[in-house]
Amino acid sequence: MTRNFFGTDGIRGLTNSEPMTAETALRVGQAAGAHFLRGDHRHRVVIGKDTRLSGYMMESALVAGFASVGMDVVLLGPMPTPAVAMLTRSMRADLGVMISASHNPFADNGIKLFGPDGYKLSDEAERAIERRLETEPKRAKPELIGRAMRIDDARGRYIHFAKSTFPDQLRLDGLKIVIDCANGAAYHVAPEALWELGADVVPLGVRPDGININDGCGSTHPEVLQARVIAEKADIGLALDGDADRLMVVDQNGRLVDGDQLMALIALQRKRTGKLKGGSVVATVMSNLGLERRLGKERVKLIRTQVGDRYVLEAMRETGCNVGGEQSGHIILTDYTTTGDGLIAGLQVLAVLVEEGKPASEVLKQFDPVPQLLKNVRFNGGAPLDSKTVKARIAAAEAELHGHGRLLIRKSGTEPVIRVMAEGDDEALVERLVDDICDAVAAA
């Protein structure tokens, strides 16, 4: 069955255009609510959101949908995606919902669904909900319509949980930390958690107005953070995205550190302390070859998946690994969370920084990245990757890189684009091979 609503990370789109309309949100609430009405207990859904203007509209529509099929609703207000996942489990809810389009501009929005275990829904569950969207919902009897309530201490609950992942014997006293919350969901909880642990906190992106989320700030726009870290003479900078499930770090010199370096840091620290499970780290095909080599030196295997944090998590659950993520900053630590959590990942990085007592620039650089180049080629119909010329160019490139690099060619799942990525020890060779393949794709 082709999914018409759900993509790789829930439902997402331009607000007030399908599928991001109030009407569709109401139907999603009815369909998802009906799917999770199991047993004779009073059913409950937890709903959080980021700071987008459209969050009010989508929240109200979802509440109406869930209540109409007999599900009680607990409203959290602006909260990080991982907080919604955590509170879904903690409150014994049947379903969790996060209203967010993550790092996208404010005009977009999305709906992410979590099962009662706090994990994102499986493809099978999403297909079942889509089937329900095609049928008339079974509405509850008047006396069984759901109720809605807002809990006022959701922020405190999540802050307490996040702090519990930081070693009890450590404090952040003496550390000056700049944190950019992208004017998003963590604008309250992240600075407060760091302050409570003793840090001198310089907050950025903590004045959301409904339309400035991810606007020139956060993990996708780290330039302001880099400049501020240098200006403040801070020890480190942390950047979250709009829903705070992603983290990028800046050292004291303003150098940006990506998810690959952070995964290496956290995984190798866990290996030293006997806490790395599965003897492996899970990352996507986009992670740098340098990460794979660095882990290999410590006899840690790198397991690669297709792009998308949900695929990383699936592989982690299958293999029993407790460290995984993406180069873009989704860091998943299953000892604590069921999804990426920027704040908790940041706390693990800060713990290593405190324990080693060295500057961030020394602690964070775990390996020298192998030169990597990614280019996108648009095409107009057809199947360029089936072209004999393109196949020949790819085969020739793989032969040249053999043992000294890696090639990845894939079709985008969202637009008519072929993504061509190569990495290797010889930067000039990498650039030439990518250009050769791009030229062949364009001509196909």
Please give the positions annotated as active site.
Answer: 102
Question: Do strands 108-114 and 176-180 pair parallel, antiparallel, or not at all (unpaired)?
Answer: unpaired
Q: Which long-range contacts (CB under 8 A, 24 or more apart) does 428-432 make?
A: 429/400, 429/401, 429/405, 430/371, 430/372, 430/373, 430/405, 431/373
Q: Token digits for 263?
A: 């995964």
Q: Are 62 and 74 in contact (CB under 8 A)?
A: no
Q: Are 33 and 66 in contact (CB under 8 A)?
A: yes
The C-alpha torsion from 409 through 410 and 416 to 420, rounded to 10°, is -30
Please choose, from the candidates 235, 236, 231, 243, the residue with its C-alpha nearest in 3D space to the C-alpha of residue 182. 243
Q: Token digits for 89?
A: 């489990």
Alpha helices in 244-288 (DSSP H): 259-272
Q: Are 62 and 26 in contact (CB under 8 A)?
A: yes
Residue 97 pairs in a beta bridge with: 47, 113
User: Radius of gyration of the chain from Cα atoms?
Assistant: 22
Q: Are 100 and 10 in contact (CB under 8 A)?
A: no
Please choose, from the candidates 210, 209, 219, the residue with its C-alpha nearest in 3D space to the C-alpha of residue 182. 219
Distances (CA, A) of 289 to 14, 230, 399, 424: 36, 30, 17, 8
